[in-house]
Amino acid sequence: MYPEIEPHASGHLDTGDGNLVYWEECGNPGGKPVVFLHGGPGGGCSPSHRRLFDPSAYRIVLFDQRGCGRSLPHASESEDLSSNTTWHLVDDMERLRKSLDIPRWQVFGGSWGSTLALAYAEKHPERVAELVLRGVFTLRSSEVDWYYRGGAANVFPDLWEKFTAPIAGLDGDPVELYAKLLADPDPAVHGPAAVAWSTWEGATGTLLPQPERVADFAVPEYALAFARIENHYFVNNGWLEEGQLIREATVLKDIPGVIVQGRYDLATPAVSAWDLHKAWPESELVIVPDAGHVYDEPGILAALLAATDRFRDRP
């Protein structure tokens, strides 16, 4: 990765509906603009995300999506997520782009960030110079069923048992059951549920175990915001029609793009990246043979850096 770097500008974007979205800029103020979209939804950005781009060439824009990271109000303190939807986030991106006086930018997103990147690019293709996507997730029902309704239990039966412990003995859809627990005002109810939801993703995202990653996902404040926002999106199908992002990928035909996918990604299996590439044949699909889901696994990281390096000098 590129060396550690600090922002030269930052602030909170007032969305006009009670949300303040944290943003920051790093790298070359006169360089090629790129916007980084974090995962989750509800994950937030970290300093390491700045290091995916050549700071001498790129004007690097990162922001924490509504309700998480350094954005306000934080979902760990507020249960009102009515103004937190995919299309609110797409509008936030446009508002941020305009406020920074950026005509077009490269859009880089992994996991849920790939969902948001596709939603944005399909609505505003004229504003996207290139797309770099990782661990493709399009919020089709089959994808959510696999990861949250028992499919992945065939690979992770021990971790699935931990994930389902808070809802053991209850009948119904796990996603809906979790929604009730996470909305419960009692911290003794929503707290353990949030940690179980969050650590499921933390524990299953890598090809090899990373205990430090699981510990990060188990931090109560982080876990509560992450779980509440993510569950809120899945209960509402991301405010997307079934298969919408794949179906509408034809509008991306004039946008250069790279899709990086771990072969053994159990969080967002490779079939979604494959389906996207088939619908958008102008893209390049890189399947990393020895990786799971997370961006900093060696093979995935190398492919992402190769993509951003390739595009850095493109007008």
Q: Which residues are catalytic?
A: 111, 265, 293
Contact of 205 with 292, CB cutoff 8 Å: yes
Kindly tell me the sign of the dihedral angle through the C-alpha atoms of 98, 102, 107, 109.
negative
Task: Name which of 186, 212, 185 is nearest 199 in CA terms.
Answer: 212
Contact of 54 with 105, CB cutoff 8 Å: no
- Give 234's Cβ-side CA count (13 Å radius): 28
Task: Name which of 211, 182, 201, 148 is nearest 39 in CA terms.
Answer: 201
Contact of 230 with 256, CB cutoff 8 Å: no
| Tokens, residue 265 | 């990604």
Query: Strands 128-134, 257-262: parallel, antiparallel or unpaired by DSSP?
Result: parallel
